[in-house]
A and B are shown apart, each in its own frame.
Chain A
Amino acid sequence: MRRRTLLQASAGALTFFFTSRVSAAPIEPTRPGAYAEDFNAYLKISADGRVGCFVGKTELGQGAMTVLAMLVAEELELDPAQVDMLLGDTDLCPWDLPTGGSLTMWHTAPVLRGAAAEARAVLLGLAAKALGASAAELAMKDGAIWVKAAPTRRTTFGALVQGRKLARHLGKVKPKPLAECTVIGRRFLRKDALAKTTGAAKYAGDLRLPGTLHACILRPPAQGLKLATADTTAAERIPGVRIVRDGTLLAVLHPQPDTARKALALVKGTFEGTEPDVDDARIYQHLVDKAATGQRVMNSRGDLAAGEKRAATVVEAEYRNAYESHATLEPHTSVAKWEDGRMTVWASNQSPFVFRDSVAEALKLDKDKVRIITPFVGGGFGGKLVGPNAIEAARIARQVPGVPIQLAWNREEDLFLDGYRPAAVVKLRAGLDAGRGAITFWDSVVAGVSQGEAEFTYEFQTSRYQAPAVPDLHPLKVGAWRAPNAHTNAFARESQLDALAAKAGMDPVTLRRRLATDPRLLHLLDLALEAFGWEPAPGPTGRGIGLACGAWRQAMVVAVAQVAVDKATGKVQVLRFLEAVDVGLVVNPDGARQQVEGAITMCLGQALSEEIHFKGSRILDKNFDTYLLPRFSAIPRIQVVFAENTGMATQGIGEPPVVPVAAALANAVFDATGARVTHVPFTPERVLEALKRLPAK
């Protein structure tokens, strides 16, 4: 409701906050690639005193809308409910980076908070003049400013701003010190709570623009094939059907979405192109062979051969990841409209400005001829960082001027067209010294992903990290999946450390303590063990408890899992999962907790069940009957503990809790059974295989 009010106000006769440049274009152009320096770009106060906040992020479900409002509320002494958020509109919001990579709290939050701090100082200055007092004598709360000693001498944001066209900028103003903060660290109702629990929240597919035609696109049977010929005769017999072609894109349009889909089924197409000779079993050798043509040493420390000679315990192992889909519950969806030489796309997306630029490029339009508007987004996880769906919608809309085109991929298309978490092979060789206190060498060769976050705050005497610089390594389309590279490398590293500890007859925590170089890690290990109530012992103990560590930028996480393994079926049931998390200052504790709970839960699927099955470039998974997401019966008891580290800048929390999940589970499976699972996901079949490899007792 507030969102609509704000939209109308923005387009209408609103007096904008301290700007001398009120015009049809409400935001002065900002340099792409740089955050707006003028706080007016982010904050506007309407005549009634409400504060509007404009940010180029999107609400994917992670709570950006709420936590950003909290920062503005903090500086302007408001309740977050008093801040109207408008996210992800490239005409109305200043440029921003994508909503991904845990960047919202890392990059955007300090900028927005700084803008709000500056606005606070400007408002206090204006109020001081209006009330005949010094700024230090004033108090601010709920949009009012008054003289502390004489509360009847008061004014409001609305009164101060109304009718003024001021451009006062004080430059960098320090945010409030933490001790004076009243919003940061508290729980507030999520700003999207009412809309999402009443069905009022609008996603791209929920827009009902008059005259909308629903589009369905003819897809090839395999990735990479192109449309050669098409026979649309039968489809065109259905009343209301229109066919649009743009190069190899063929779409069936109809006023009803289900009729468009039925009509598409009547279109006969032929396709050309070749499929790769690979499948979901042979992909790993494919990656290793292809990567070998261009492996590069990315980082090297010390004399590896000399380190190996010092090793008393050596483990050599290969860790695999299957392709995995983002599988957002809302499939990729856009509505595009070409009108008056401008393309407007309401898109389910994580990166409005990337979408704007890629739509402009695809249609050979100037960037300012494209506008991306972002409704609520039904999940992202990295899958909506790029905009093939929006580009397709725009290409179709370009052919039918004035007609809104809705393009909602169905589940099969979503699984087929996604850019997957890359399949990968991490080969590790590493050794532990006789004193069991030092890793003497660590040799990592990665195929399929980069060496990103392969290193951690462990001291290794010698190490070498190799990763391929080979184009077109993957036969399928890949993309960024929550904590990309990091979770793949952490799975390998943390499994390998456990294997070394077990082989050397020591417990897995003591080894990590001896290797740790950062006291934050030691603290997190203490927190995790105490909260879990776990006395580590050399594995396998049969208790089914495993631990793993991981990092994303400066954020650090320790995960502890407890599992039960059915040795007859290979099924892994997760009983408990705990994460101890250090992401610096936690602004929204409940929101942060949600992200950790969500990451743990999502990664149960990553670790145990989610895998894209394929032959050539044909994707065999069409729906959730074979692509298996975690359901309620898979959910363990979840515990989250935050390190009190208010001195470190907020790191963001979408990625960090993902990083160690699969490794903690694999280590727990080892502790339960003595069998090491090295292939993500460790499905019942793979667990049984691992159990079979155990030497007979």
Chain B
Amino acid sequence: MAMTKFTLNGRPVEVTSERSRMLVWVLRDELGLTGTKVGCEAGLCGACTVLVDSEAVPSCSTSLGDVAGKSVLTIEGLTVDGKLDPVQQAFQDHHAFQCGYCTSGMILAAWAFLKKKPKATRAEIVAAMEGNICRCGAHVRILDAVETAGKAMGGVR
């Protein structure tokens, strides 16, 4: 069986899934990492957002072949030695979630954006998060959390 190699949360992995298999299923089904959620399977809701070489992508619409040799970061890889990432910490502090089903994707989308632009304006944050749906209506808190996290990541406007 052909193996596909990539880096997952900082460690090399080899998986047996077919290269055409969508990454979300490789993560959830083959690797058992269920923090990445399935919401629409069409790249419309952002619940399955993961980072591929630090870019936020919908893992429901990204094949395993697309990430071969690349670096994938999921929500499980964001906490290092039990210490929350500043974005996770800000989401906690602001209670920027309700049901939590969108939260992994929100945090990773925000993380990718803030890495590039920690000093973002509110309008820029809104634009960056537009692809992620929250049904419970935690939007205002999510925006507040992203602002706070940006400051914590060195971006004081």
Contacts and interface: CB of A to CB of B under 8 A. Distances in A.
A623 B133 CA distance: 12
Interface string B76-117: 101100001000100110010111111110010000000000
A597 B97 contact: no
A374 to B, nearest CB: 13
A189 interface: yes
B144 to A, nearest CB: 11
B35 A330 contact: no
A376 B100 contact: yes
A630 B143 CA distance: 14
Contact of A411 (B34, B42, B100): B42
B43 to A, nearest CB: 10
A230 interface: no
B136 A201 contact: no
A597 B141 contact: yes
Contacts of A598: 98, 136-138
A61 B103 CA distance: 11
Q: SS class of chain A's interface: helix, strand, loop or mixed?
A: loop
Given A329-B45, A597-B141, A192 B25 contact: no
B58 to A, nearest CB: 12
Nearest to A591: B95
Contacts of B33: 199
Nearest to B128: A632
Contacts of A203: 37, 101
Given A411-B41, A594-B141, A635-B143, A329 B47 contact: yes
Contacts of A328: 99, 101, 135
A233 interface: no
A631 interface: yes
A393 to B, nearest CB: 16
B39 interface: yes
B32 A208 contact: yes
Nearest to B32: A208
A256 B31 CA distance: 12
B138 A594 contact: yes
Interface string B7-35: 00000000000000110010011001111
B139 interface: yes
B130 interface: yes
A421 to B, nearest CB: 14
Interface string B35-66: 11111111011010000000000000000000
Contact of A632 (B32, B107, B129): B129
A140 interface: no
A585 to B, nearest CB: 21
A62 interface: yes
A594 B133 contact: no
A257 to B, nearest CB: 6
B126 interface: yes
B103 A197 contact: yes
Interface stretch (A244-252, A444-452, A599-607): A599-607
B44 A623 contact: yes
A36 interface: no
A200 interface: yes
A408 B138 contact: no
B22 A629 contact: no
Contact of A61 (B84, B100, B127, B132): B100
B135 A629 contact: yes
A632 B103 contact: no
Interface string A59-70: 011110000000
Contacts of B138: 594, 597-598, 601
B44 A205 contact: no
Contact of B34 (A192, A194, A206, A601): A206
B134 interface: yes
B136 A379 contact: yes
A200 B133 contact: no
Q: How many B residues are at the interface, by size bracket?
A: 35 or more
B100 A195 contact: yes
B44 A601 contact: no
Nearest to B44: A624
B42 A329 contact: no
A61 B97 contact: yes
B75 interface: yes
Contact of B140 (A196, A200, A597): A597
B102 A329 contact: yes
A126 B90 CA distance: 44
Interface string A373-386: 00011110100000
A631 B42 CA distance: 17
A258 B99 contact: no
Contacts of A594: 95, 98, 138, 141
Contacts of B32: 208
B74 interface: yes
A379 B101 contact: yes
A61 B99 CA distance: 3
A10 B76 CA distance: 29
B44 to A, nearest CB: 4
Given A199-B74, A378-B101, A632 B135 contact: no
A199 B104 contact: yes
A623 B33 CA distance: 25
Contact of B21 (A200, A258, A379, A632): A258
A201 B91 CA distance: 15
Contacts of B130: 631-633
A379 B99 CA distance: 5
Nearest to A196: B100
A197 B99 contact: no
B40 A411 contact: yes
Contacts of A629: 133, 135
Contacts of A190: 95
B95 A624 contact: no
B120 to A, nearest CB: 13
Kindly name the residue among B39, B101, B102, B127 whose own CB sees the greatest number of chain A CB atoms within 10 A: B101
A329 B25 contact: no
Given A198-B79, A328-B99, A624-B44, A258 B29 contact: yes
Given A197-B91, A208-B34, A330-B37, 18 more contacts: A61-B97, A189-B92, A196-B97, A196-B103, A327-B135, A331-B39, A376-B99, A376-B100, A378-B37, A410-B41, A594-B95, A597-B140, A598-B136, A599-B137, A630-B137, A632-B142, A633-B126, A633-B130
Interface of A: 60-63, 189-190, 192-203, 205-206, 208, 256-258, 327-331, 376-379, 381, 408, 410-411, 590, 594, 597-602, 623-625, 629-633, 635, 638
10 contacts: A63-B98, A201-B100, A329-B45, A329-B47, A331-B39, A594-B138, A594-B141, A598-B137, A624-B45, A635-B140
